[in-house]
Amino acid sequence: MTEEHNGLTRRGFLTGMGGLAAGIAVGGLGVPSSMASAGQEPVWPMPYVKLDPEEVRKLGHLGYYEGECCRGAFSAIVGSLQKKVGAPFTAIPINIMAYGTGGVAGWCTLCGAINGASAAISLVSKNYKAIVNELLLWYTQTPFPSDKANALAVNHEYLVDKYKSDKALPPSVPGSPLCHVNVSRWCKEHGYASGSSERSERCARISGDVAAYAVELLNADMDGTFAPTHKFSAEVDGCRTCHKKGKDFDAGMWTRGKMECSDCHDKATAKLVGPDHP
Amino acid sequence: MTEEHNGLTRRGFLTGMGGLAAGIAVGGLGVPSSMASAGQEPVWPMPYVKLDPEEVRKLGHLGYYEGECCRGAFSAIVGSLQKKVGAPFTAIPINIMAYGTGGVAGWCTLCGAINGASAAISLVSKNYKAIVNELLLWYTQTPFPSDKANALAVNHEYLVDKYKSDKALPPSVPGSPLCHVNVSRWCKEHGYASGSSERSERCARISGDVAAYAVELLNADMDGTFAPTHKFSAEVDGCRTCHKKGKDFDAGMWTRGKMECSDCHDKATAKLVGPDHP
């Protein structure tokens, strides 16, 4: 499948395991050939209604203190839809995304705010791949915490007792969607320890900011006006001339990805790129 | 919150947005203070029943060809529970995890098989954080594709027409839970392009392998016998002596994470570690 593959039919998605079940029946595993016995078919995409990004920003921020970054961003969107729409959203336990905390159980891989917001997007839009791609591009290029998230905290607009800090926190551009990279960058740039209350609060504000922007994209998607606006950096575009998903191993297509190359690779590191790289 | 924080009560989780709603009502946003109006509370954890890891391995493998890695691993577990248990699993659209493809919309961050399997774990177990941590440790240290996944393909056990390749594929130890790192490693070690059908098939077999191991862990969890057995490498343990989540910035606690350090960091790269690092 190509990187931009999105060819599954809605019916194919709706039936979920239907195709697999039929296939396996042929193979003799003896499972039912349809989901009829379950008496219910999951609704997909679930019926999104437009949400207020500023309400969602607050909910994502607060949601961090209920279950950290990933669950927080997911709860801000899906929890709002549970209240506003009810079923079928009310059948989704918010804890399905609880594992994403700290870049997945503290491994600091994918930023949990991105992970949680992306799951919400995938739940409600057939355009999930393009919207999530745009979310990641925006995230890597935008200073966080946003002025709006900082202002909410400074102005004590709500639930003051939930806050770890009521001061404006200095912003950094994450550069990377990886928790390890962007937490380290922010901490080093501003002199905060990774276990400080300021770092937690920074991630809480980011949970709100990411959920809010996801809602902006979903609202546009619902209006039929969603269009990608963010671009890859010159570096990523340059490296991807050769180092992209493709068929030609000898031309450098033994890798794939969209993250900023220089966050990990450096010409000085023979092991990674090689000093004689053209 | 500490890295190992898991102090939310089950009631707190079950009510989901309840706490938020109450807080916001105080703040004057005017949303209801309970979810009673929705008429339904999400079930969590959902009622897991023990699954056969070998059936799940096949379903994960096949599921890759229905919607790639993340959706494939998730569908192998949650789709099986939809068939075996029915409600409440049947209310979960498998496509909630479709965004995770290619390490999230092709960004090659977190391996989609891990992401999808972890969401399934988070859906059914209060021990999600410990189980997911164990899944990542195992994943980074285990050669993939497994002999079992290779044998399934070579022996044409089922659905031959779905396979991109019926040969045994050479294994590599991923080292990293990041798609970009471990796909590059496997491709370079074995001479396959990232857009080759062999690379796709490798990821399909991994989707099955990861879903199967997740089920082994969940089965043990259900029996009350789950116990972590995998350890961090000496390198990670060593670097984390200083470079861990903590309060002391000057001692190196401006970062956090559990991934192998040397996949990106090298003493030769002044920018990343510094040539005078002790």
Q: What is the ipTM of this complex?
A: 0.86
Note whether B88 contacts A90, CB cutoff 8 Å.
no
Q: Which of A65-69, A260-264, B88-92 has the lowest mean pLDDT?
A: A260-264
Q: What is the pLDDT of residues B214-226, one digit of tens each?
A: 999 999 999 999 9
H or E segment and range at residue A68: helix A53-74
Note whether A16 contacts B86, CB cutoff 8 Å.
no
* Rounded mean pLDDT, A30-44: 53
* Rounded mean pLDDT, B116-129: 98
The band of A277, judged by pLDDT with boundaries at 50, 70 and 90, is low
Q: Which of A88-97, A149-158, A246-255, B198-207 has the lowest mean pLDDT?
A: A149-158
Q: Which of A5-9, A39-43, A271-275, B269-273 has the lowest mean pLDDT?
A: A5-9
A10 at B interface, C-beta within 8 A: no
Cβ atoms of residues A124 and A219 within 8 Å = no
Residue B30 reports pLDDT greater than 70: no
Note whether A99 contacts B88, CB cutoff 8 Å.
no
DSSP chain B: --TT-----HHHHHHTTHHHHHHHHHHT----SSSGGGT----SS-------HHHHHHHHHHHHHHHHHHHHHHIIIIIHHHHHT-TTGGGS-GGGGGGGTTTTTT---B-HHHHHHHHHHHHH-TTHHHHHHHHHHHHHHS-BS-HHHHHHHHTT-S-GGG-S--SPPPPB---SSBHHHHHHHHHHHHT--TTSHHHHHHHHHHHHHHHHHHHHHHHHHHHT---------HHHHHHTTTSSSSS-GGGT-S----S-GGGT--TT-TTTT-TT--
Note whether B3 contacts A68, CB cutoff 8 Å.
no
The band of A15, judged by pLDDT with boundaries at 50, 70 and 90, is very low
The band of A102, judged by pLDDT with boundaries at 50, 70 and 90, is very high
Residue A126's closest CA among B37, B199, B67, B5? B67
* Rounded mean pLDDT, A181-206: 95
The band of A161, judged by pLDDT with boundaries at 50, 70 and 90, is low
Q: What is the pLDDT of residues A216-243, one digit of tens each?
A: 999 999 999 999 999 999 989 999 999 9
- Report B:129-168 residues touching A (Cβ under 8 A): 129-130, 132-133, 136, 157-159, 162
Residue of chain A with shortest Cα separation from B93: A42
Mean pLDDT of chain A: 84
Q: What is the pLDDT of residues B221-247, one digit of tens each?
A: 999 999 999 999 998 999 999 999 999
Size of interface A-B (CB pairs under 8 A): 407
pLDDT at B40: 67
pLDDT at A30: 28
Cβ atoms of residues A253 and A246 within 8 Å = yes
pTM for the model: 0.86
Contacts of B28 in chain A (CB under 8 A): 158
- Which of B194, B210, B236, B261 is the mutation pick for testing A, counting most A CBs within 10 A? B194
pLDDT at B158: 60
